[in-house]
Amino acid sequence: MKIAVEKDIREIDLRANEKYRISQIVLMENSGIALAEEVKKHVNRHSKVIIVVGMGNNGGDGLVCARHLHNESYSVKIFMIGNLKKLSEHANQNFEIIKHLNIPVEMINDIGGVKKLGKLIAYDDVVVDCIFGIGITKDVEGVYELAIDAINDSEGYIISCDMPSGIHASEGLVMKTAVRADKTVALCLPKVGNIMYPAAEYNGELVVKKISVPNELIAEMSLPLETISHEFIKQLIPKRQRNSHKGVYGKASIIAGSFGMTGAAILCGKSALRSGVGLLKLIIPESLHTIITTSVPEAVTVPLAETRKGVFGINQVEKLVQTCDAADVIAIGPGCGQNAEMNEILRHLITLVDKPVIIDADGLNTLAKHVDVLENKLNKVVLTPHPGEMSRLTNLPLEVINQHPIRTASEFAHKWQVIVVLKGARTVVALPSGQIYINVNGNPGMATAGSGDVLTGIITSLVAQGLTPENAAIAGVYIHGYSGDLMVSQKGEYGLIAGDLIEGITHVFRNLELEV
Protein backbone atom coordinates (compact mmCIF):
# COMPACT_ATOMS: atom_id res chain seq x y z
CA MET A 1 0.00 0.00 0.00
CA LYS A 2 1.24 3.47 -0.86
CA ILE A 3 2.19 5.78 2.01
CA ALA A 4 1.73 9.55 1.82
CA VAL A 5 3.30 12.61 3.36
CA GLU A 6 1.47 15.90 3.86
CA LYS A 7 2.38 17.39 0.48
CA ASP A 8 1.10 14.25 -1.26
CA ILE A 9 -2.32 14.65 0.33
CA ARG A 10 -2.45 18.33 -0.61
CA GLU A 11 -1.60 17.36 -4.19
CA ILE A 12 -4.22 14.58 -4.21
CA ASP A 13 -6.89 17.05 -3.03
CA LEU A 14 -5.84 19.52 -5.73
CA ARG A 15 -5.85 16.97 -8.56
CA ALA A 16 -9.14 15.47 -7.38
CA ASN A 17 -10.71 18.90 -7.80
CA GLU A 18 -8.97 20.11 -10.96
CA LYS A 19 -8.85 16.91 -13.01
CA TYR A 20 -11.68 14.77 -11.64
CA ARG A 21 -14.02 17.56 -10.48
CA ILE A 22 -14.27 16.10 -6.98
CA SER A 23 -14.42 19.09 -4.67
CA GLN A 24 -12.93 19.39 -1.19
CA ILE A 25 -16.41 19.54 0.31
CA VAL A 26 -17.20 16.13 -1.24
CA LEU A 27 -13.98 14.63 0.11
CA MET A 28 -14.79 16.10 3.54
CA GLU A 29 -18.28 14.60 3.41
CA ASN A 30 -16.90 11.17 2.51
CA SER A 31 -14.24 11.45 5.22
CA GLY A 32 -16.82 12.26 7.86
CA ILE A 33 -19.02 9.36 6.77
CA ALA A 34 -16.04 6.96 6.87
CA LEU A 35 -15.18 8.19 10.36
CA ALA A 36 -18.79 7.78 11.54
CA GLU A 37 -18.81 4.19 10.27
CA GLU A 38 -15.86 3.35 12.52
CA VAL A 39 -17.30 5.24 15.51
CA LYS A 40 -20.52 3.25 15.37
CA LYS A 41 -18.57 0.01 15.88
CA HIS A 42 -17.67 1.17 19.41
CA VAL A 43 -20.89 2.77 20.61
CA ASN A 44 -23.38 1.04 22.89
CA ARG A 45 -26.75 2.21 24.24
CA HIS A 46 -25.10 3.99 27.17
CA SER A 47 -22.48 5.82 25.11
CA LYS A 48 -22.05 9.46 24.33
CA VAL A 49 -19.95 10.43 21.34
CA ILE A 50 -17.72 13.39 22.17
CA ILE A 51 -16.08 14.94 19.12
CA VAL A 52 -13.19 17.36 19.71
CA VAL A 53 -12.51 19.48 16.64
CA GLY A 54 -10.00 22.11 15.58
CA MET A 55 -10.38 24.85 13.02
CA GLY A 56 -8.96 23.07 9.97
CA ASN A 57 -10.35 20.50 7.56
CA ASN A 58 -9.74 17.70 10.06
CA GLY A 59 -12.18 19.52 12.30
CA GLY A 60 -14.56 19.70 9.34
CA ASP A 61 -14.37 15.91 9.00
CA GLY A 62 -15.39 15.70 12.65
CA LEU A 63 -18.36 18.01 12.11
CA VAL A 64 -19.58 15.84 9.23
CA CYS A 65 -19.18 12.79 11.44
CA ALA A 66 -21.21 14.49 14.18
CA ARG A 67 -24.04 15.27 11.76
CA HIS A 68 -24.34 11.71 10.47
CA LEU A 69 -24.25 10.23 13.98
CA HIS A 70 -26.85 12.75 15.17
CA ASN A 71 -29.10 11.85 12.24
CA GLU A 72 -28.94 8.23 13.34
CA SER A 73 -30.03 9.23 16.87
CA TYR A 74 -26.67 8.80 18.59
CA SER A 75 -25.91 11.08 21.54
CA VAL A 76 -23.35 13.55 20.18
CA LYS A 77 -21.58 16.52 21.73
CA ILE A 78 -18.95 18.69 20.04
CA PHE A 79 -16.04 20.54 21.67
CA MET A 80 -14.32 23.12 19.47
CA ILE A 81 -10.81 24.43 20.11
CA GLY A 82 -9.62 27.66 18.55
CA ASN A 83 -10.86 30.90 17.07
CA LEU A 84 -14.04 30.45 15.00
CA LYS A 85 -12.86 33.25 12.71
CA LYS A 86 -10.08 30.89 11.59
CA LEU A 87 -12.41 28.02 10.75
CA SER A 88 -11.55 26.69 7.26
CA GLU A 89 -14.01 27.39 4.46
CA HIS A 90 -15.46 23.89 4.18
CA ALA A 91 -15.37 23.26 7.92
CA ASN A 92 -17.36 26.49 8.35
CA GLN A 93 -20.01 25.26 5.89
CA ASN A 94 -20.46 22.14 7.99
CA PHE A 95 -20.48 24.18 11.20
CA GLU A 96 -23.46 26.17 9.86
CA ILE A 97 -25.33 22.89 9.37
CA ILE A 98 -24.43 21.80 12.91
CA LYS A 99 -25.88 25.01 14.33
CA HIS A 100 -29.17 24.50 12.49
CA LEU A 101 -29.41 20.92 13.78
CA ASN A 102 -28.93 22.16 17.34
CA ILE A 103 -26.18 19.64 18.07
CA PRO A 104 -24.61 20.72 21.40
CA VAL A 105 -21.34 22.63 20.92
CA GLU A 106 -18.91 23.80 23.63
CA MET A 107 -15.92 26.06 22.98
CA ILE A 108 -12.60 25.29 24.66
CA ASN A 109 -10.68 28.52 25.06
CA ASP A 110 -9.22 28.09 28.54
CA ILE A 111 -8.57 25.65 31.37
CA GLY A 112 -12.24 25.76 32.33
CA GLY A 113 -13.30 24.33 28.99
CA VAL A 114 -10.62 21.66 29.21
CA LYS A 115 -11.82 20.59 32.68
CA LYS A 116 -15.40 20.41 31.42
CA LEU A 117 -14.26 18.15 28.59
CA GLY A 118 -12.38 15.86 30.96
CA LYS A 119 -15.26 15.58 33.45
CA LEU A 120 -17.80 14.81 30.74
CA ILE A 121 -16.06 11.73 29.33
CA ALA A 122 -17.27 8.49 30.95
CA TYR A 123 -16.02 4.92 30.57
CA ASP A 124 -18.55 3.92 27.89
CA ASP A 125 -18.05 7.04 25.79
CA VAL A 126 -16.28 7.37 22.47
CA VAL A 127 -13.97 10.36 22.07
CA VAL A 128 -13.28 11.39 18.48
CA ASP A 129 -10.08 13.39 17.98
CA CYS A 130 -10.32 15.81 15.05
CA ILE A 131 -8.07 18.58 16.33
CA PHE A 132 -5.09 18.76 13.96
CA GLY A 133 -4.97 15.98 11.37
CA ILE A 134 -1.93 16.06 9.08
CA GLY A 135 -1.07 19.75 9.29
CA ILE A 136 0.91 20.10 12.52
CA THR A 137 4.59 21.06 12.15
CA LYS A 138 5.40 22.60 15.55
CA ASP A 139 5.13 21.57 19.18
CA VAL A 140 1.67 21.38 20.72
CA GLU A 141 1.22 24.04 23.40
CA GLY A 142 -1.35 25.98 25.41
CA VAL A 143 -4.97 24.92 25.49
CA TYR A 144 -4.35 22.34 22.76
CA GLU A 145 -1.81 20.55 24.93
CA LEU A 146 -4.21 20.61 27.88
CA ALA A 147 -7.06 19.27 25.76
CA ILE A 148 -4.93 16.40 24.45
CA ASP A 149 -3.90 15.57 28.01
CA ALA A 150 -7.57 15.53 29.04
CA ILE A 151 -8.42 13.15 26.19
CA ASN A 152 -5.53 10.85 27.11
CA ASP A 153 -6.53 10.90 30.80
CA SER A 154 -10.10 9.89 30.00
CA GLU A 155 -11.46 6.37 30.21
CA GLY A 156 -13.31 6.65 26.91
CA TYR A 157 -12.48 4.81 23.70
CA ILE A 158 -10.39 7.23 21.62
CA ILE A 159 -10.62 7.39 17.83
CA SER A 160 -8.38 9.77 15.89
CA CYS A 161 -9.32 11.09 12.48
CA ASP A 162 -6.52 10.54 9.93
CA MET A 163 -3.71 11.16 12.44
CA PRO A 164 -3.55 11.33 16.25
CA SER A 165 -3.39 15.04 17.00
CA GLY A 166 0.16 16.04 17.83
CA ILE A 167 1.83 13.64 15.37
CA HIS A 168 3.91 15.00 12.49
CA ALA A 169 2.31 13.25 9.52
CA SER A 170 5.38 13.37 7.26
CA GLU A 171 8.07 12.42 9.80
CA GLY A 172 6.32 10.22 12.37
CA LEU A 173 7.48 12.42 15.25
CA VAL A 174 5.59 13.35 18.41
CA MET A 175 5.35 17.14 18.59
CA LYS A 176 5.79 17.37 22.38
CA THR A 177 2.54 15.54 23.11
CA ALA A 178 -0.07 13.65 21.10
CA VAL A 179 -3.37 11.84 21.45
CA ARG A 180 -2.92 8.17 22.30
CA ALA A 181 -5.67 6.67 20.18
CA ASP A 182 -7.25 3.26 20.52
CA LYS A 183 -8.00 3.43 16.80
CA THR A 184 -6.88 5.75 14.01
CA VAL A 185 -8.96 6.09 10.85
CA ALA A 186 -6.52 7.03 8.09
CA LEU A 187 -8.28 8.66 5.15
CA CYS A 188 -7.43 7.81 1.52
CA LEU A 189 -3.89 6.56 2.31
CA PRO A 190 -1.86 5.91 5.45
CA LYS A 191 0.68 8.63 6.24
CA VAL A 192 4.24 8.20 7.45
CA GLY A 193 3.00 9.16 10.93
CA ASN A 194 0.60 6.21 10.83
CA ILE A 195 3.40 3.77 10.06
CA MET A 196 6.74 4.87 11.54
CA TYR A 197 7.81 4.89 15.18
CA PRO A 198 7.61 6.60 17.60
CA ALA A 199 4.31 7.86 16.16
CA ALA A 200 2.98 4.37 15.40
CA GLU A 201 2.69 3.78 19.17
CA TYR A 202 -0.01 6.47 19.27
CA ASN A 203 -2.20 5.14 16.45
CA GLY A 204 -3.69 2.11 18.15
CA GLU A 205 -5.49 -0.03 15.59
CA LEU A 206 -4.97 1.49 12.15
CA VAL A 207 -7.86 1.42 9.68
CA VAL A 208 -7.49 2.89 6.18
CA LYS A 209 -10.74 4.13 4.65
CA LYS A 210 -11.47 5.07 1.02
CA ILE A 211 -13.04 8.50 0.48
CA SER A 212 -13.77 8.26 -3.27
CA VAL A 213 -10.37 9.44 -4.48
CA PRO A 214 -10.06 7.64 -7.86
CA ASN A 215 -7.56 4.79 -8.11
CA GLU A 216 -6.37 6.39 -11.34
CA LEU A 217 -5.38 9.50 -9.43
CA ILE A 218 -3.30 7.53 -6.92
CA ALA A 219 -1.68 5.55 -9.74
CA GLU A 220 -0.60 8.68 -11.61
CA MET A 221 0.99 10.21 -8.51
CA SER A 222 4.72 9.73 -7.98
CA LEU A 223 4.47 8.29 -4.48
CA PRO A 224 7.86 6.75 -3.58
CA LEU A 225 6.79 5.27 -0.23
CA GLU A 226 4.90 2.03 0.23
CA THR A 227 4.50 -0.85 2.62
CA ILE A 228 5.61 -4.37 1.67
CA SER A 229 2.56 -6.50 0.94
CA HIS A 230 2.20 -10.24 1.27
CA GLU A 231 0.82 -10.45 -2.29
CA PHE A 232 3.89 -8.68 -3.67
CA ILE A 233 6.24 -11.13 -1.94
CA LYS A 234 4.28 -14.12 -3.24
CA GLN A 235 4.84 -12.84 -6.77
CA LEU A 236 8.58 -12.40 -6.21
CA ILE A 237 9.41 -15.87 -4.87
CA PRO A 238 10.22 -18.15 -7.85
CA LYS A 239 8.29 -21.39 -8.13
CA ARG A 240 10.49 -24.49 -8.05
CA GLN A 241 10.50 -26.77 -11.07
CA ARG A 242 10.34 -30.56 -10.80
CA ASN A 243 13.18 -31.03 -13.28
CA SER A 244 15.88 -29.05 -11.49
CA HIS A 245 19.15 -29.41 -9.60
CA LYS A 246 21.18 -27.40 -7.10
CA GLY A 247 22.86 -25.37 -9.82
CA VAL A 248 19.50 -23.91 -10.79
CA TYR A 249 19.08 -22.33 -7.35
CA GLY A 250 22.30 -20.41 -7.34
CA LYS A 251 25.72 -20.26 -5.73
CA ALA A 252 26.45 -17.96 -2.81
CA SER A 253 29.69 -17.16 -1.01
CA ILE A 254 29.53 -15.79 2.52
CA ILE A 255 32.66 -14.34 4.12
CA ALA A 256 32.08 -14.54 7.85
CA GLY A 257 33.41 -15.37 11.28
CA SER A 258 36.41 -14.60 13.45
CA PHE A 259 37.72 -15.79 16.81
CA GLY A 260 34.83 -15.67 19.27
CA MET A 261 32.30 -14.87 16.53
CA THR A 262 31.67 -18.22 14.87
CA GLY A 263 27.96 -17.99 15.70
CA ALA A 264 27.40 -15.20 13.19
CA ALA A 265 28.82 -17.29 10.36
CA ILE A 266 26.75 -20.31 11.39
CA LEU A 267 23.49 -18.35 11.64
CA CYS A 268 24.05 -16.59 8.33
CA GLY A 269 24.95 -19.84 6.58
CA LYS A 270 22.01 -21.80 7.95
CA SER A 271 19.65 -18.97 7.08
CA ALA A 272 20.86 -18.90 3.47
CA LEU A 273 20.42 -22.65 3.15
CA ARG A 274 16.94 -22.63 4.70
CA SER A 275 16.03 -19.86 2.25
CA GLY A 276 16.72 -22.16 -0.69
CA VAL A 277 20.18 -21.45 -2.11
CA GLY A 278 21.50 -24.36 -4.17
CA LEU A 279 25.17 -24.23 -3.18
CA LEU A 280 26.70 -22.29 -0.32
CA LYS A 281 30.38 -21.62 0.33
CA LEU A 282 31.36 -20.30 3.75
CA ILE A 283 34.72 -18.55 3.51
CA ILE A 284 36.21 -18.58 7.00
CA PRO A 285 39.50 -18.31 8.91
CA GLU A 286 41.00 -21.81 9.06
CA SER A 287 40.92 -22.08 12.87
CA LEU A 288 37.10 -21.94 12.72
CA HIS A 289 36.83 -24.78 10.23
CA THR A 290 36.00 -27.63 12.58
CA ILE A 291 33.20 -25.94 14.50
CA ILE A 292 31.62 -24.42 11.41
CA THR A 293 31.74 -27.52 9.22
CA THR A 294 30.24 -29.47 12.11
CA SER A 295 27.47 -26.92 12.63
CA VAL A 296 26.67 -26.34 8.95
CA PRO A 297 27.57 -29.60 7.18
CA GLU A 298 25.46 -28.69 4.14
CA ALA A 299 27.81 -25.81 3.28
CA VAL A 300 31.13 -26.05 1.46
CA THR A 301 33.73 -24.49 3.74
CA VAL A 302 36.70 -22.60 2.35
CA PRO A 303 39.18 -22.20 5.23
CA LEU A 304 41.85 -19.59 4.58
CA ALA A 305 45.19 -19.18 6.28
CA GLU A 306 45.35 -16.62 9.08
CA THR A 307 47.57 -13.70 9.99
CA ARG A 308 46.63 -14.29 13.62
CA LYS A 309 44.03 -16.50 15.25
CA GLY A 310 40.65 -16.06 13.66
CA VAL A 311 41.73 -13.35 11.17
CA PHE A 312 42.19 -13.82 7.42
CA GLY A 313 45.76 -13.41 6.24
CA ILE A 314 46.40 -10.38 4.06
CA ASN A 315 48.16 -12.70 1.60
CA GLN A 316 44.89 -14.64 1.18
CA VAL A 317 42.95 -11.79 -0.44
CA GLU A 318 43.70 -12.91 -4.01
CA LYS A 319 42.60 -16.50 -3.26
CA LEU A 320 39.46 -15.20 -1.58
CA VAL A 321 38.58 -13.04 -4.59
CA GLN A 322 39.12 -15.97 -6.95
CA THR A 323 36.86 -18.15 -4.81
CA CYS A 324 34.10 -15.53 -4.87
CA ASP A 325 34.33 -15.10 -8.64
CA ALA A 326 32.46 -18.37 -9.15
CA ALA A 327 29.53 -17.25 -6.99
CA ASP A 328 26.33 -15.54 -8.08
CA VAL A 329 26.36 -13.32 -4.99
CA ILE A 330 28.76 -12.51 -2.15
CA ALA A 331 27.96 -11.56 1.44
CA ILE A 332 30.56 -10.19 3.81
CA GLY A 333 30.63 -9.05 7.40
CA PRO A 334 28.82 -11.28 9.91
CA GLY A 335 31.24 -11.81 12.78
CA CYS A 336 34.31 -10.83 10.70
CA GLY A 337 35.77 -8.32 13.14
CA GLN A 338 37.40 -5.02 12.17
CA ASN A 339 40.98 -5.03 10.99
CA ALA A 340 43.24 -3.98 8.13
CA GLU A 341 42.72 -7.32 6.41
CA MET A 342 38.95 -6.78 6.27
CA ASN A 343 39.46 -3.35 4.74
CA GLU A 344 41.56 -4.85 1.93
CA ILE A 345 39.15 -7.73 1.33
CA LEU A 346 36.15 -5.43 1.13
CA ARG A 347 37.87 -3.05 -1.26
CA HIS A 348 38.82 -5.91 -3.58
CA LEU A 349 35.30 -7.38 -3.58
CA ILE A 350 33.59 -4.09 -4.36
CA THR A 351 35.99 -2.88 -7.02
CA LEU A 352 37.29 -6.08 -8.65
CA VAL A 353 34.51 -8.68 -8.49
CA ASP A 354 31.54 -8.12 -10.80
CA LYS A 355 28.97 -9.76 -8.53
CA PRO A 356 26.26 -8.36 -6.23
CA VAL A 357 27.67 -7.80 -2.74
CA ILE A 358 25.67 -7.86 0.51
CA ILE A 359 27.49 -6.01 3.30
CA ASP A 360 26.50 -6.40 6.95
CA ALA A 361 27.86 -5.98 10.48
CA ASP A 362 31.66 -5.61 10.57
CA GLY A 363 31.63 -5.23 6.81
CA LEU A 364 29.65 -2.03 7.34
CA ASN A 365 31.92 -0.81 10.12
CA THR A 366 34.91 -1.39 7.84
CA LEU A 367 33.18 0.34 4.94
CA ALA A 368 32.41 3.37 7.10
CA LYS A 369 36.13 4.20 7.24
CA HIS A 370 36.39 4.36 3.42
CA VAL A 371 32.83 4.77 2.15
CA ASP A 372 34.01 6.42 -1.06
CA VAL A 373 35.11 2.98 -2.29
CA LEU A 374 31.47 2.63 -3.36
CA GLU A 375 32.17 5.06 -6.22
CA ASN A 376 34.15 2.30 -7.93
CA LYS A 377 31.78 -0.65 -7.40
CA LEU A 378 31.41 -3.07 -10.30
CA ASN A 379 27.97 -4.38 -9.38
CA LYS A 380 25.02 -3.72 -7.12
CA VAL A 381 25.65 -3.38 -3.40
CA VAL A 382 23.17 -4.01 -0.58
CA LEU A 383 23.93 -2.52 2.83
CA THR A 384 22.03 -3.80 5.91
CA PRO A 385 22.87 -1.41 8.78
CA HIS A 386 21.18 -0.98 12.12
CA PRO A 387 20.95 2.67 13.26
CA GLY A 388 24.36 2.62 14.95
CA GLU A 389 26.05 1.34 11.81
CA MET A 390 24.11 3.87 9.73
CA SER A 391 25.41 6.60 12.00
CA ARG A 392 28.99 5.49 11.32
CA LEU A 393 28.36 5.29 7.57
CA THR A 394 26.87 8.79 7.39
CA ASN A 395 28.67 10.55 10.27
CA LEU A 396 25.22 11.65 11.46
CA PRO A 397 24.28 11.51 15.15
CA LEU A 398 22.30 8.45 16.20
CA GLU A 399 19.45 10.74 17.26
CA VAL A 400 19.13 12.03 13.69
CA ILE A 401 19.08 8.48 12.29
CA ASN A 402 16.32 7.47 14.70
CA GLN A 403 14.24 10.59 14.05
CA HIS A 404 14.58 10.52 10.26
CA PRO A 405 15.23 6.92 9.16
CA ILE A 406 13.42 7.23 5.83
CA ARG A 407 15.22 10.41 4.81
CA THR A 408 18.60 9.10 6.00
CA ALA A 409 18.36 5.78 4.16
CA SER A 410 16.96 7.36 0.99
CA GLU A 411 19.60 10.08 0.77
CA PHE A 412 22.44 7.59 1.29
CA ALA A 413 20.99 5.17 -1.28
CA HIS A 414 20.69 7.95 -3.84
CA LYS A 415 24.11 9.48 -3.16
CA TRP A 416 26.06 6.22 -3.42
CA GLN A 417 23.64 4.35 -5.72
CA VAL A 418 23.30 1.42 -3.34
CA ILE A 419 20.39 -0.45 -1.76
CA VAL A 420 20.03 0.42 1.93
CA VAL A 421 18.20 -1.84 4.36
CA LEU A 422 18.00 0.28 7.50
CA LYS A 423 16.90 -2.16 10.19
CA GLY A 424 14.51 -1.30 12.99
CA ALA A 425 10.98 -1.78 14.27
CA ARG A 426 9.98 -0.50 10.83
CA THR A 427 12.78 -1.58 8.52
CA VAL A 428 13.30 0.82 5.62
CA VAL A 429 14.44 -0.49 2.23
CA ALA A 430 15.66 2.48 0.19
CA LEU A 431 16.50 1.95 -3.49
CA PRO A 432 18.82 4.12 -5.61
CA SER A 433 15.81 5.00 -7.80
CA GLY A 434 14.19 6.82 -4.89
CA GLN A 435 11.57 4.14 -4.26
CA ILE A 436 11.23 3.27 -0.56
CA TYR A 437 9.60 0.23 1.04
CA ILE A 438 8.58 -0.01 4.69
CA ASN A 439 8.23 -3.37 6.39
CA VAL A 440 5.47 -3.47 8.99
CA ASN A 441 5.63 -7.06 10.23
CA GLY A 442 7.98 -8.42 12.92
CA ASN A 443 7.97 -7.95 16.68
CA PRO A 444 10.18 -6.92 19.65
CA GLY A 445 11.30 -10.51 20.22
CA MET A 446 13.46 -10.16 17.12
CA ALA A 447 15.64 -7.57 18.85
CA THR A 448 18.18 -10.23 19.74
CA ALA A 449 21.79 -11.04 18.88
CA GLY A 450 22.17 -12.78 15.54
CA SER A 451 18.87 -11.63 14.07
CA GLY A 452 20.70 -9.45 11.53
CA ASP A 453 22.92 -12.38 10.48
CA VAL A 454 19.77 -14.35 9.67
CA LEU A 455 18.48 -11.47 7.53
CA THR A 456 21.75 -11.30 5.60
CA GLY A 457 21.51 -15.01 4.87
CA ILE A 458 17.97 -14.67 3.51
CA ILE A 459 18.82 -11.75 1.21
CA THR A 460 21.98 -13.46 -0.04
CA SER A 461 20.08 -16.66 -0.79
CA LEU A 462 17.34 -14.85 -2.71
CA VAL A 463 19.86 -13.03 -4.91
CA ALA A 464 21.56 -16.35 -5.66
CA GLN A 465 18.20 -17.77 -6.74
CA GLY A 466 17.72 -15.04 -9.32
CA LEU A 467 15.95 -12.16 -7.60
CA THR A 468 17.38 -8.74 -8.28
CA PRO A 469 19.24 -7.33 -5.26
CA GLU A 470 16.43 -4.76 -4.92
CA ASN A 471 13.69 -7.39 -4.79
CA ALA A 472 15.79 -9.69 -2.63
CA ALA A 473 16.20 -6.91 -0.05
CA ILE A 474 12.45 -6.21 -0.06
CA ALA A 475 11.48 -9.87 0.14
CA GLY A 476 14.21 -10.63 2.65
CA VAL A 477 13.03 -8.16 5.28
CA TYR A 478 9.43 -9.32 4.84
CA ILE A 479 10.33 -13.03 5.19
CA HIS A 480 12.52 -12.20 8.20
CA GLY A 481 9.67 -10.37 9.94
CA TYR A 482 7.11 -13.01 8.93
CA SER A 483 9.35 -15.69 10.44
CA GLY A 484 9.59 -13.71 13.67
CA ASP A 485 5.82 -13.38 13.86
CA LEU A 486 5.31 -17.10 13.31
CA MET A 487 7.88 -18.11 15.91
CA VAL A 488 6.92 -15.58 18.58
CA SER A 489 3.57 -17.35 18.87
CA GLN A 490 5.52 -20.41 20.04
CA LYS A 491 8.43 -18.90 21.95
CA GLY A 492 7.11 -15.55 23.18
CA GLU A 493 8.90 -12.23 22.80
CA TYR A 494 11.28 -12.83 25.71
CA GLY A 495 12.28 -16.33 24.63
CA LEU A 496 12.78 -15.74 20.90
CA ILE A 497 16.37 -16.19 19.69
CA ALA A 498 17.98 -15.90 16.26
CA GLY A 499 18.06 -19.67 15.77
CA ASP A 500 14.28 -19.72 16.07
CA LEU A 501 14.05 -17.37 13.10
CA ILE A 502 15.86 -19.93 10.93
CA GLU A 503 13.25 -22.52 11.90
CA GLY A 504 10.58 -19.95 11.10
CA ILE A 505 11.98 -19.45 7.59
CA THR A 506 10.99 -23.02 6.72
CA HIS A 507 7.39 -22.30 7.73
CA VAL A 508 7.36 -19.02 5.79
CA PHE A 509 8.42 -20.65 2.53
CA ARG A 510 6.05 -23.55 3.15
CA ASN A 511 3.18 -21.10 3.56
CA LEU A 512 4.21 -19.21 0.42
CA GLU A 513 4.36 -22.52 -1.53
CA LEU A 514 0.86 -23.47 -0.41
CA GLU A 515 -0.51 -20.08 -1.43
CA VAL A 516 0.85 -20.16 -4.99
Is 262 annotated as belonging to a binding site? no
For 177-225, what is each residue's pLDDT tens digit?
999 999 999 999 999 999 999 999 999 999 999 999 999 999 999 999 9
> Would you say 54 is a known binding-site residue?
no
pLDDT tens for 332-379 read 999 999 888 899 999 999 999 999 999 999 999 999 999 999 999 999
State yes or no: 485 annotated in a binding site: no
Does the annotation list 144 as a binding residue? Answer: yes
Confidence of residue 438 (pLDDT cuts 50, 70, 90): very high
What's the gap between Cα 343 and its chain centre? 31
| 133 marked ligand binding residue | yes
Cβ count near 86 (within 10 Å): 11
**Contact status, residue 409 vs residue 371, Cβ threshold 8 Å:** no
Q: Would you say 118 is a known binding-site residue?
A: no
Is residue 516 very low, low, confident or very high in pLDDT (cuts 50, 70, 90)?
low
Q: Pick left, alpha or beta for residue 197 (phi over 0 → left; psi -120 to 50 → alpha; otherwise beta).
A: beta
The annotation status of 59 as a binding-site residue, yes or no, is: yes
Please give the backbone phi and psi of residue 223, each rounded to the nearest 5 degrees, phi first: -105, 105
Phi and psi torsions of 434, nearest 5°: 105, -10
Class of residue 295 by CB neighbours under 10 A (exposed 0-12, middle 13-18, buried 19+) = middle
Please check if 425 is assigned to a binding site. Answer: yes
At residue 214, what are phi and psi to the nearest 5 degrees? -60, 140
What is the 3-state composition of the chain as percent helix, strand, coil, each rounded to the nearest 5? 50, 15, 35
Asked whether 406 and 225 are in contact (CB, 8 A), the reply is yes
Q: Is 32 annotated as a binding residue?
A: no
Residue of 354, 304, 303 whose CA lies nearest to 325: 354
Q: Are 463 and 274 in contact (CB under 8 A)?
A: no
State yes or no: 330 annotated in a binding site. Answer: no
Average pLDDT over residues 96-125: 94
Q: Residues 366-414: pLDDT tens digits?
A: 999 999 999 999 999 999 999 999 999 999 999 999 999 999 999 999 9
CA 8 vs CA 169, 398, 425, 509: distances in Å: 11, 28, 24, 36
pLDDT confidence tier of residue 39, bands split at 50, 70 and 90: very high
- Percent of the chain topping pLDDT 90: 92
Per-residue pLDDT tens digits for 217-229: 999 999 999 999 9
Q: Is 82 annotated as a binding residue?
A: no
Q: What is the pLDDT of residue 513?
A: 86
Is 312 exposed, middle or buried (CB count within 10 Å of its CB: 0-12, 13-18, 19+)? Answer: buried
- The 10 Å CB-count burial string (b at 16+, else e) for 335-361 is bbbebebbbbbbbbbbeebebbbbbbb
**For the chain, how many residues are written?**
516
Domains and CATH numbers, the chain: 6-222 (3.40.50.10260), 230-237+248-515 (3.40.1190.20)
Instruction: Find the helix or strand (DSSP H, E) in which 306 lies.
Output: strand 306-308
What does the pLDDT look like over 41-59, one tens digit per residue? 999 888 999 999 999 999 9
Is 491 known as a binding-site position? no
E-assigned strands of 348-507? 357-359, 381-383, 419-422, 428-430, 436-438
